[in-house]
């Protein structure tokens, strides 16, 4: 067979020609903005010329983005890797010192920034030691940035920089194992760590997104890509869409339930992907507003465990299939998708859908015990999930050798705890660091959350382990009550007792306004634990086990 390298430029050229009529829609707050994939191809060529000729980008230098999900971000997704450089997606929700750390660690040379995020970049630009050029996308005043940047950095405007440049670029042949893109984990413990995706891994991962067993993305689809392009590469959706010709709907900064519902009603996406908190908010909105969501064939939910109650509510009240998926920044991120096997119907099919899903051929999974010993894939042995495969990272950027805390004998240690069934379904009970160790027994914080969120008056529930003199740790339930509803700790505890063993029932309860979220919208358990330690919650304590 011929040895054709699997390159991002191939995905771009294919999408921009064969699927040139597919469209990318960006939400603006004043009506949608529409562009064709053919035009994205032309802009990618212009951007690559500008980066080389004006910003001097050569080799595998890093070009960072500080951007929402929009057309220009998509252009950068293709232009930067296709020219042989490395795209670095900066997470706009990180603390300034983390942003600085990441940009310096990656040695970013250029930053592309949405004009709405100029104030954020202006705050840190003075500390970004390797940056030489900033490109501001969209209108708005770049003056604060120019003032903060100093002489070392040239500030350009996107439109001026791209104007008049050629619509074609002679994309170089690269080694398919070279880095194409860089994404840092959100750093819930310690400094964020960089994961470099290769051209080859992106290509293979994109194929997997498109197969029916993956997300089943195809040319007749319109994908609403809510998951940020700075969070695990928007789950690979931009590349997969160009590969298969699915159109893209990009929400830009309009991530609240009301505009998302309007995007669904008017742009009629067939698929959508986001973390559970987004879907939870949208559900509450759809329950109280009459919106047309009939175009949605499926929505993919991942990033944290999806409460079964959320899946049922969408299916039963809105006719939308919520598909549960698991993955990590380190796995590109597609790891597993919960699609029931042939023949499973009714409750049995639902039981499969509650799991984190089955791995595709490209990902091998195993469960290991405390000393790293492999445990049987019997659906009952509980241990840490480890994975390997061609789109799973082998080590973090800048590390000479794989860190033994995260890698073992060529496997990635996920830090997730659960079981693996003989037919390949992963069921996660918790993250290792969130499991509640009570009197030598383990309590799954996720199981308690799922059970609580099945209560009709509960909007959100986050459970963490807190120190306890007698049992070492006990669960603390923090609950957000649905608007207009009222419920007591005693009532919730009795409700929990119908599905959870009595000794696991939390005695500490706090009613809060909102669960603190991480930079990618997950429950931030670290913050919940520290707020409890600081006495910030009004905790009600019921009798113990
Ligand atoms: P961060 O670790 O900063 O949250 P990632 O997005 O890479 O960044 O998180 C990966 C982790 O998210 C996984 O290791 C797992 O703990 C969690 N996760 C992702 N999908 C699921 C899921 N479907 N069910 C449970 N946990 C999930």
Instruction: Decide if pLDDT at 174 tops 70.
Output: yes
Distance 522 CA to ligand 1 centre (A): 9
Which protein residue has the closest C-alpha to ligand 1 atom 4? 186
Q: What angle do CA 418, 420, 422 make, to 5 degrees?
A: 160
Q: Where in the chain is the domain with CATH 3.30.300.30?
A: 437-541
The bridge status of strand 374-375 relative to strand 441-443 is unpaired
Q: What is the pLDDT of residues 76-119, one digit of tens each?
A: 999 999 999 999 999 999 989 999 999 999 999 999 999 999 99
Minimum-distance ligand 1 atom for the alpha carbon of 414: 14
437 is catalytic: yes
Residue 416 has pLDDT above 70, yes or no: yes
Domain 37-198 has CATH 2.60.120.590: no
Q: Across residues 56-64, what is the average pLDDT?
A: 98
Range with top average pLDDT, 135-149, 177-191, 197-211: 197-211
Taking the C-alpha atoms of residue 350 and residue 360, their distance in angstroms, rounded to an integer, is 20
pLDDT at 364: 97
Ligand 1 and 326: CB distance under 6 A:
yes
The catalytic position among 437, 494, 503, 541 is 437
pTM for this structure? 0.95
Exactly one of 442, 473, 517, 526 is catalytic; which is it? 442
- Return the ligand 1 atom nearest residue 231 CA: 6
Residues of the chain with pLDDT > 70: what percent?
99
Model confidence at 501, in pLDDT bands (50, 70, 90)?
very high
Kindly give, in sequence order, each residue whose CB lies less than 8 Å from that of residue 451, ignoring residues fewer than 6 positions away: 495, 496, 499, 500
pLDDT tens digit string along 14-47?
Answer: 999 999 999 999 999 888 999 999 999 999 999 9
Establish whether residue 356 lines the binding site of ligand 1, counting it when its CB lies within 6 angstroms of any ligand atom. yes
The predicted structure's pLDDT at residue 544: 72
Instruction: State whether the beta carbon of 188 lies less than 6 angstroms from ligand 1.
Output: yes
CA distance 464 to 481: 18
Instruction: Specify the pLDDT at position 29.
Output: 85
Let me know: does 356 contact 427? Beta carbons within 8 Å.
yes
Sequence-ordered strand ranges (E) for 57-192:
62-66, 86-89, 108-114, 133-137, 154-157, 179-184
Q: Which residues contact 446 (CB under 8 A, 6 or more apart)?
A: 305, 428, 429, 430, 434
Query: Does the structure show a pLDDT above 80 at 183?
Result: yes
* DSSP state letter for 252: B
Q: 545: pLDDT confidence band, cut at 50, 70 and 90?
A: low
Note the pLDDT tens digit of each residue in 276-319: 999 999 999 999 999 999 999 999 999 999 999 999 999 999 99
**Tens-place pLDDT, residues 418-465:** 999 999 999 999 999 999 999 989 999 999 999 999 999 999 999 999
Which regions of the chain carry the CATH code 3.40.50.12780? Answer: 37-198
Confidence of residue 187 (pLDDT cuts 50, 70, 90): low
Q: Quote the mean pLDDT of the chain.
A: 96
Question: Is pLDDT at 189 greater than 90 in this prediction?
Answer: no
pLDDT, average across residues 517-533? 94
* Phi/psi of residue 23, nearest 5 degrees: -125, 155
Handedness of CA 532, 533, 535, 536 (dihedral sign): negative
Is the CB of residue 232 below 6 angstroms from any atom belonging to ligand 1?
Answer: yes
Average pLDDT over residues 168-190: 91
Q: Is 330 a catalytic residue?
A: yes
If DSSP codes are grouped into helix, strand and coil, which group holds residue 273?
Answer: strand
The CATH homologous superfamily of the domain defined by 437-541: ANL, C-terminal domain (3.30.300.30)
136 pLDDT band (50/70/90 cuts)? very high
Crossing angle of helices 199-210 and 237-244, in 10° steps, is 70
The minimum-distance atom of ligand 1 relative to the CA of 431 is 16
User: Quick check: CB of 431 below 6 Å from ligand 1?
Assistant: yes
- Which single residue is written with the structure tokens 């064969």? 18
């Amino acid at each position: 067979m011929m040895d054709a390298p699997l390159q991002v430029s191939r995905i771009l050229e294919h999408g921009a020609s064969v699927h040139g009529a597919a469209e990318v829609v960006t939400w603006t707050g004043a009506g949608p903005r529409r562009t064709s994939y053919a035009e994205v191809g032309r802009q990618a060529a212009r951007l690559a010329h500008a980066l080389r000729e004006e910003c001097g980008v050569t080799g595998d230098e890093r070009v960072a983005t500080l951007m929402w999900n929009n057309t220009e971000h998509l252009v950068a997704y293709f232009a930067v890797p296709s020219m042989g450089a490395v795209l670095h997606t900066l997470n706009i929700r990180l603390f300034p010192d983390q942003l600085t750390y990441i940009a310096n660690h990656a040695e970013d040379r250029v930053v592309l920034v949405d004009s709405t995020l100029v104030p954020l970049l202006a705050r840190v630009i003075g500390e970004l030691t390797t940056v030489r050029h900033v490109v501001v996308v969209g209108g708005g005043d770049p003056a604060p940035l120019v003032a903060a940047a100093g002489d070392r950095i040239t500030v350009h405007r996107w439109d001026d920089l791209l104007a008049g440049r050629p619509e074609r670029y002679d994309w170089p042949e690269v080694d398919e194992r070279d880095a194409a893109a860089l994404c840092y984990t959100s750093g819930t413990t310690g400094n964020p760590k960089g994961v470099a995706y290769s051209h080859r891994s992106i290509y293979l991962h994109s194929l997997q997104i498109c197969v029916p067993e993956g997300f089943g993305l195809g040319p007749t689809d319109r994908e609403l890509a809510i998951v940020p392009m700075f969070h695990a590469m928007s789950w690979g959706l931009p590349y997969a869409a160009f590969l298969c010709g699915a159109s893209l709907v990009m929400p830009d900064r309009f991530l609240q339930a009301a505009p998302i519902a309007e995007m669904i009603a008017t742009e009629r996406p067939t698929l959508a992907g986001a973390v559970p908190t987004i879907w939870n908010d949208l559900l509450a909105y759809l329950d109280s507003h009459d919106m047309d969501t009939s175009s949605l064939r499926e929505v993919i939910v991942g990033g944290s465990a999806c409460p079964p109650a959320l899946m049922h509510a969408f299916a039963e009240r809105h006719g939308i299939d919520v598909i549960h998926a698991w993955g990590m920044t380190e796995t590109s991120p597609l790891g597993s998708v919960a699609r029931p096997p042939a023949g499973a119907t009714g409750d049995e099919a639902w039981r499969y859908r509650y799991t984190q899903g089955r791995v595709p051929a490209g990902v091998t999974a195993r469960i290991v015990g405390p000393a790293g010993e492999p445990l049987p894939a019997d659906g009952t042995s509980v241990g840490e999930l480890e994975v390997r495969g061609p789109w799973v990272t082998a080590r973090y950027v800048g590390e000479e050798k794989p860190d033994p805390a995260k890698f073992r004998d060529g496997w990635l240690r996920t830090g997730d705890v659960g079981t693996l069934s003989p037919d390949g379904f992963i069921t996660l009970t918790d993250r290792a660091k969130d499991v509640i160790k009570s009197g030598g027994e383990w309590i799954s914080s996720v199981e308690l959350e799922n059970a609580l969120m099945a209560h009709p008056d509960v909007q959100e529930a986050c459970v963490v382990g807190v120190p306890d003199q007698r049992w070492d740790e006990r669960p603390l339930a923090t609950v957000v009550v649905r608007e207009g509803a009222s419920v007591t700790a005693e009532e919730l505890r009795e409700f929990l007792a119908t599905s959870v063993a009595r000794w696991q029932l939390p005695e500490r309860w706090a009613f809060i306004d909102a669960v603190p979220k991480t930079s990618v919208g997950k429950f931030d358990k670290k913050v919940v634990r520290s707020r409890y330690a600081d006495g910030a919650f009004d905790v009600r304590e019921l009798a113990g086990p």
